[in-house]
Structure 1
Amino acid sequence: MFATRIFQAFIFIACLSVALQSDHHHESVKCTHLESTRESILIVGLVSALVFCFVGVLPSFFIRADTDNEKFVDSTVFKLLLAFAAGSLLADVFLHLLPETSTGISESQAIRNGLLTIGSFLVFLIIEKVTELVPDAHALGTLNLIANFLDNSAHGTTVVGAFQNSFKFGMVALIATVLHEVPHEFSDFALLLRDGYTRKRAVIAQLITAFAGTIGATIAYAFTTNLDSSNSCNHNQNIYLRENQFQEHLHDHHQHHNHGHGSFIVPFTIGGFLYIALVGIIPEIVKEENKRTSFLQILFFIIGISFIFCLTQFETIMAHYFM
C-alpha cells in the first residue's frame, strides 16, 4: 500500500509537471502558474521525504523481529556488514562528496572546506568523549545519527532544487540520491545495532534522520516562496526572472554545493563520515583475529567501495543521458 501511494504521487507529479511545462515557454507568465509551480515543489518535497523514510527502514525488513541482538552483533554476517559500511562511507567521501565540493571553487574556498572538515572531525571527537561520560550512552550511534541527519537534510534541499530546475532533472537527482542512500542505510542500521540499539529503537532513529530530508525540502520550498514578494500579476515578469535565477542557484548547489548552507553541510558531513569510518569501524576490523573472517572483511570493504563507485558512475551516465 505504501509503495502504491508513492507511485500514485509520482504519477500526479508527472502529470502536473507536464501541464506546467506547457506554459513555461510563454512570454506571459501567470500567477496561477507560479502558484502551481510552488505547490508542485512542495508535493515533490513531501513525496521525496516519504521515499527517504521508506529507504531508512528498509534494512529492518531483512532482520527478523525476534533476532537476538547480542548474537547478531557477534556474527560473521554482522562483521562483514560493518566492513561494507566502512568501505561505502569512505567511497562516498572520496568519490562522491569531495568531488562535489572541490569542483569549480577557489583556493580560499578549498581551504575553508578543509577547515570545516577538520573542524567536523574534532567536533565528533568531542561529542564521543562527552557521550562516554553519560551512562548507557551510545557514542558511535549518536555520531552516526548526527552525520546522517545533516546528510539527509542536504539531500532534501538538493532534490527539491533539482525539481525546481525541471522534473526530469529532479527525477535523476532523486533516483541517484536513493541509490546512494540504500547501502548507507544498511550500514547505519548495522552501526546502531552494534552500539546497543534494539531493532525497534534503530528503526525509530532511522526515521528521525530520514525526516531531515523533509526539513531540507521545506527550506528549499520556503526559499522559493519568499522569492515572491508580491502576489500581483503586474509583477509577473520580475517574479519569473527571479525564479529563473533561483533555478540557476539551486542547479549550482546540486552541482557543486558551493552556495549557502550546502557549503557548510557537505564538508561537515564529510568529517563525520571520516570519523565514523576511521575511528568507529576500521579499528573493529583490525582487531579481528579469525583469518577467514578478516579476509572476507577486506573483500566486503572493497565491495563497499566498488558499489559506491558504480553508483557514482551510474549517476553520471543518467545525468548525461537525461539532461
Structure 2
Amino acid sequence: MVSLSVGIMLSTAFLHALPEAFESQADTHGLFALLLGSLLGFFLLEKFAILRHSHHHEGDGHHHAHGHDAREAGKSGWMILVGDGMHNFTDGILIAAAFLANPQLGIVTGLAIIAHEIPQEIGDFIVLLNAGFTRRRAYMYNLISSLMAVVGGVLGYYTLESASNLIPYVLVIASSGFIYIAVSDLMPQMQRRATMRETIPQIILISIGVLIVLFLTGQQHSH
C-alpha cells in the first residue's frame, strides 16, 4: 500500500492536479509561491506535531506519580483523533475542489487519498489501542474522525462552487500535500527495505500507481 500510494500520489500531483491548476486563469507566480509555502507549511506542521507528541517513557529517569504514563498515552490518543479529524476534513475539501475542477481529477484525487489513508488509519487504530482505548472505542472514534471527510466534502462543494476562482489554489495545496507525504514520509519507509527482493515489488507497485493515474487521465482526454 505504501508503494502504491507513492505512485498514485506523485502522479496525481504532477500529471493531473498541478497541470489543471496551472492551465487555469490563476497567476502562475502566485501558484508557484503557494506550492513552496505549502510544502514548508506541511514541514512546520509535522515538526509541531512531533514536538507535541513527544513524551517520556517508563524507565527514562523521570519521576512521575503513579498512572502518569497512562494519562499521557490517553492524551496522545485524543490528540491524534483531533489532528486526524482536521486532516480528514481538509481531505474532503480537496476532493470537492478536484471534482469541481474536473470529475476525472476528483476520482484520482480521491483514489490517492484513499491509498494513503488506509495504512494511516490502521496505524492510528493501533496507536489508540496503545493509548488505552478499547477496540470498540478505538474503532468508533476512528470512524467518527474519518467521517469528517464527508463534512469537509459537502462544505467544500457548496463553498467552492460559488468561488470557483479558488479551486486552482486548493489544487496546488492538495498537490503539495501529496508531494510532501510521498517524499518525506512514504519513500523513507521504502528505503529501509534495501534488498533487491524487496525493491522489485516496490518498483512494480509504484509503476501500477502511475499507470492507474495515466489510464484515468487518458480516459479524460479521450472524452
User: How much does 1:99 deviate?
Assistant: 0.8
Deviations 1:201-244 (A, max 9, x none): 544333212321110123256x4xxxxxxxxxxxxxxxxxxxxx
Pairing 1:191–2:120 present: yes
Q: Which amino acid aligns with 2:212?
A: F
For the 8 Å contact 2:22–2:28, the answer to whether it is kept is yes
- TM-score for both structures, normalised by structure 2: 0.70
User: How much does 1:125 deviate?
Assistant: 0.7
Pairing 1:272–2:177 present: yes
Deviations 1:253-284 (A, max 9, x none): 4xxxxx1x223312112111111010010001
Q: Which has the larger radius of gyration?
A: 1
Unaligned runs of 5+ in 2: 54-75, 129-137
Deviates more, 1:264-273 or 1:116-125: 264-273
For the 8 Å contact 1:124–1:272, the answer to whether it is kept is yes
For the 8 Å contact 1:144–1:276, the answer to whether it is kept is no
Give runs of aligned pairs for residues 1-323 of structure 1, distance below 5 A.
Answer: 81-105=1-25, 109-135=27-53, 136=76, 142=83, 146=87, 149-156=89-96, 159=99, 173=103, 177-178=106-107, 180-194=109-123, 196=126, 200=139, 201-220=141-160, 223=162, 253=164, 259=165, 261-317=166-222, 320=223
C-alpha distance 218-158 of structure 1, shift in aligned 2 (>3 A)? same
Instruction: Determine which structure has greater relative contact order: mean sequence separation of CA pairs < 8 Å that are 6+ residues apart, divided by chain length.
Output: 2
For the 8 Å contact 1:124–1:143, the answer to whether it is kept is no
- TM-score for both structures, normalised by structure 1: 0.50
Deviations 1:271-303 (A, max 9, x none): 111110100100011111343222101110111
Task: Give percent identity, aligned residues only.
Answer: 21
Deviations 1:81-103 (A, max 9, x none): 10100110000001110110111
User: How much does 1:180 deviate?
Assistant: 4.5
C-alpha distance 142-279 of structure 1, shift in aligned 2 (>3 A)? farther
C-alpha distance 197-213 of structure 1, shift in aligned 2 (>3 A)? farther
C-alpha distance 210-189 of structure 1, shift in aligned 2 (>3 A)? farther
User: How much does 1:152 deviate?
Assistant: 2.8
Supply the RMSD in Å over aligned alpha carbons.
Answer: 3.1
C-alpha distance 292-145 of structure 1, shift in aligned 2 (>3 A)? farther
CA distance in 2, matches of 1:303, 1:312: 14
CA distance in 1, matches of 2:38, 2:159: 23
Q: In structure 1, what is the equivalent of residue 69 of structure 2? A: none
CA distance in 2, matches of 1:181, 1:189: 12
User: How much does 1:179 deviate?
Assistant: 5.5
Aligned pair count reads 188
